[in-house]
Structure 1
Amino acid sequence: MNANSNANSGESLPANGRVGERSRRTLETRIEARLDLDRRGRSRVDTGLPFLDHMIGAAVFHGGMTLDLRAQGDLDIDDHHTVEDCGLVFGSVIREALGDRRGVRRFGYAYAPLDEALARAVVDLSGRPFASVDLGLRREMLGTVATENLSHFFASLATSGGLTLHLDVIRGDNDHHRAEAAFKAFGLALADAVAERSAAGVPSTKGVLESAGLPQ
């Protein structure tokens, strides 16, 4: 497995805390993932798609999280199922790690530049899945990933994670820069949203953030 080293520390994840684990096995993909929301360690991302590994690694590094995600997919067909299912599993481990979402800020936003590119991400841990994603990519492929599937990754993540996501690349000439800025902005906004606040309880006037019945 290829390793994306996201910190100098190679320490193992703690046995407790805000940790989510999920496996997904279909006729198209097999994926295992473990996420620690509160510890920046040595993340390992191996999807069989090096560009996707690079993007997910950037998101979790700048989100201050540790992710171990390993995927085997039907890449002999194309990258669609692997990208989609990695998004679904990533969202699922976020949802599991958050539990009832008690004591979190809930809302998060961030801007991330990469040279000439600038991306904006806004996250609401609402329990209501919604994604509006506009990356403005012009190339058909980045590495071995179809650029249309990068937007689909975020939509899948929002669906399984039970979160609202607005993600836009405001400007940028280089598609690699545009995509990477978007993943970094998402990681930063997610870190803001999951951060613990001083007030206890669920941050909702309803007293609950619905997340039941979402796809695994």
Structure 2
Amino acid sequence: MSLRRGFVERSTKETKIKLELTLEGQGLFKGESGIGFFDHMLDSLVRHSGFDISLEAEGDLFVDDHHTVEDIGICLGKAFFQALGDKKGIARYASLALPMDESLVLCAVDISGRPGFYPELVFPTEKIGQFDCQLIEEFWRAFVQEARITLHLRQLAGKNSHHLAEAVFKGTGRILKEATRLVGEEIPSAKGVL
């Protein structure tokens, strides 16, 4: 079986990004965004998905982290969509409730071909260190739009913003691993296309 891979280059006045994604990886994150906490979350995502991500990113961090985080989400979504190809044989659906200490997050995905992002997350603080908690939803919204998937993230419990963010990234990593798993040879849709 050949490895499912995607590669995206994106250059704007705000960011320059090169991102490579391998679905059949070893859970390795190489590179950096320039944003320490966000790199920690990306590392958590790949460790729990088993994907490999190689990232080169330059962004206007002197403005703030928003453009860099959102554009990495765009690039990761495009690479994910590319890597899946025609989606033949994938499991398509996955869900789980992931605990991280006192936090509990329900994560559910449908690799549907239709972008839909439905978060119900309330971060107790505005920031985690210097990182703006609003950017967590911005990242996932950008990813979902370009990956063309449906993603639900629902906070069931949580009083610590760091734990809540980790539960989101680890849980989503795990469901993406499960939903992209090859289980057959057909496209899992009555329409015959995803």
- Same fold? TM cut 0.5: yes
Q: Percent identity over the alignment?
A: 39
Rounded Cα–Cα distance in structure 1 between residues aligned with 2:74 and 2:50: 20
- Match for 2:174 among 165, 175, 188? 188
Would you say the 8 A contact 2:59–2:68 is kept in 1? yes
Rounded Cα–Cα distance in structure 2 between residues aligned with 1:90 and 1:167: 18
Rounded Cα–Cα distance in structure 1 between residues aligned with 2:145 and 2:27: 26
Rounded Cα–Cα distance in structure 1 between residues aligned with 2:125 and 2:80: 30
Aligned partner of residue 207 in structure 1, secondary structure: coil
Residue type matched to 1:176 in 2?
H
Unmatched 5+ stretches in structure 1: 1-13, 210-216
Would you say the 8 A contact 1:133–1:155 is kept in 2? no
Deviation at 1:135, TM superposition (A): 2.2
Residue type matched to 1:204 in 2?
S
Superposed CA deviations along residues 159-208 of structure 1, whole A, max 9, x for unmatched, are 000100001121111110001011101000101100011x3121110000
Structure 2 residue aligned with 1:136: 122
- 2:148 corresponds to 1:162: yes
Unmatched 5+ stretches in structure 2: none
Would you say the 8 A contact 1:108–1:124 is kept in 2? yes
Residue type matched to 1:142 in 2?
I
Structure 2 residue aligned with 1:87: 73
Aligned partner of residue 94 in structure 1, secondary structure: helix
- 2:84 corresponds to 1:98: yes
Aligned length in residues:
194
Residue type matched to 1:138 in 2?
P
TM-score, length-scaled by structure 1: 0.86
Rounded Cα–Cα distance in structure 1 between residues aligned with 2:122 and 2:111: 25
Rounded Cα–Cα distance in structure 2 between residues aligned with 1:180 and 1:41: 16
Aligned partner of residue 7 in structure 2, secondary structure: strand
Which segment drifts farther, 141-150 or 174-183? 141-150
Would you say the 8 A contact 1:134–1:151 is kept in 2? no
Rounded Cα–Cα distance in structure 2 between residues aligned with 1:45 and 1:182: 21
Deviation at 1:144, TM superposition (A): 2.7
Residue type matched to 1:34 in 2?
E
Structure 2 residue aligned with 1:203: 188
Rounded Cα–Cα distance in structure 2 between residues aligned with 1:70 and 1:133: 28
- Match for 2:8 among 14, 22, 25? 22
Would you say the 8 A contact 1:79–1:144 is kept in 2? no
